[in-house]
Amino acid sequence: MWRMGLLVTGYLIPKGWKVMVSSRAVHMDPENYLDPKKFDPSRWENIKAKAGAFLPFGAGSRFCPGSDLAKLEISIFLHQFLLHYKLERVNPKSPVSHLPLPHPSDNCLVRFEKLH
């Protein structure tokens, strides 16, 4: 038996179905970000958010008050970790799974050793 659902921009989503939004697809939309494939961390500086654009840490009234501290902490951790440890993938030919986002099927297992 067909039960009515929610009509969203011309698509009928049947009652009980689950909908997954791909943040990667939003990031790769050139309507939201110029040259989306280019590595450009400064794209997040002084950004004026528009509807439909993904923003890490939220924005507006729901903006994360600890976002600057979180970015500082991860920067310090990565700096120290990458200077003092060597990483090697356990299975560099691991197949890729694509749901919910592309990732190595083995979860990118690595061996690491402390450098002297």
Rounded Cα–Cα distance for residues 15 and 29 (Å): 28
Average pLDDT score over residue span 53-59 = 61
pLDDT band at 83 (very low <50, low <70, confident <90, very high): very high
> In the chain, what is the straight-line distance between the N-terminal and C-terminal CA atoms, in Å?
67
Where is 112: in which H helix or E strand?
strand 110-114
Output the DSSP codes for 6-29.
EEETTEEE-TT------HHHHHT-
Average pLDDT score over residue span 71-80 = 94
Cα dihedral 21/19/109/37 (nearest 10): -20
Convert the pLDDT of each residue in 22-53 to its tens digit.
777 777 888 877 888 888 878 777 777 676 66
What pLDDT score does 110 carry?
A: 92
pLDDT band at 86 (very low <50, low <70, confident <90, very high): very high
- Closest residue by Cα to residue 109 from 94, 93, 95, 89: 89
